[in-house]
Amino acid sequence: MQIDRLPALSDNYIFLLHDPTRQEAAVVDPADATPVLRRLEQLGAKLVAIFNTHHHHDHVGGNARLLQHFPAAIVYGGINDQGRIPGQTVSLQEGDHVTFGDRSAQVFFIPGHTKAHIAYYFPPVKPNDTGELFCGDTLFAGGCGRLFEGTPAQMIDSLSKLRQLPDNTRVWCAHEYTLKNLQFALTVDQQNPDLQHRLAIVEAARQRSEATVPSVLGVEKRTNPFLRWDDREIRAKVKASNDIQTFSRLRGMKDMF
């Protein structure tokens, strides 16, 4: 399975999964149909599936037009997003599996950013391969999504599921927010050498207009404060006494950053 990262809108990423053996493709969170159609034409591939993580327009905005070109494509989304995702034909919940080509992905129910958010995790085929996590707007490189429809407790539970995945999992998040996320992270985790090193790398990459997605989950566990709500130093920094309070204060601080 090959993965293409397609920039869209101002800072979105769309992910095109390609099976060259079958000349079939699937797309994750098509914000806009145009770059998807252009890449499909270049590949000579047929779109067979749309994997949506949640209903926000910058993740489903291309669904309708893609279905005009590929009416047989299956549209996947969370069971609680029924009626909110254009063209949704399959409703998924925690523990379900979806297939593309010869790969199978596990579905995680990860509310917080929205009430219906899901993620797709393709485990590695071989021991030294990477897993592939498509997590929409729940986990970002260096950050996490805003809480539009969920609670801090829900988001901690959702991120806990993702945090348990193997360190070499690639994190395909849907926005190029990494630099600002890490700049915020440094305000609550100043003494973290891994974070300092990562920020320098990301600053240089963005100066060259290079993408910082995908990230790697092991790096996120060491440098992303929204996966480290149980870190004693971060908890002390935000003057919190428990996990939920720590996360809530981090999220509130980031919203104002």
The set of catalytic residues is: 54, 56, 58-59, 113, 137, 175
Hey, what amino acid is at 211?
A
DSSP annotation string for 164-199: TS-TT-EEEESB--HHHHHHHHHHH-TT-HHHHHHH
What does residue 129 show for φ and ψ, rounded to 5 degrees?
Answer: -75, 165
> Do 97 and 107 form a contact (C-beta atoms < 8 A)?
yes
Q: What element of type H or E holds 30?
A: none
CA trace torsion 247, 248, 250, 253 (10° rounding):
170
- Count CB atoms within 10 A of the CB of residue 161: 15
Query: Quick check: 49 and 71 in contact, CB under 8 A?
Result: no
Strands 132-136 and 170-173: parallel
Give yes or no for a contact between 122 and 132, defined as CB atoms under 8 angstroms apart. Answer: yes
In 3D, which of 142, 141, 122, 143 has the Cα closest to residue 132? 122
C-alpha gyration radius of the chain: 18
Contact 79/116 with Cβ under 8 angstroms? yes
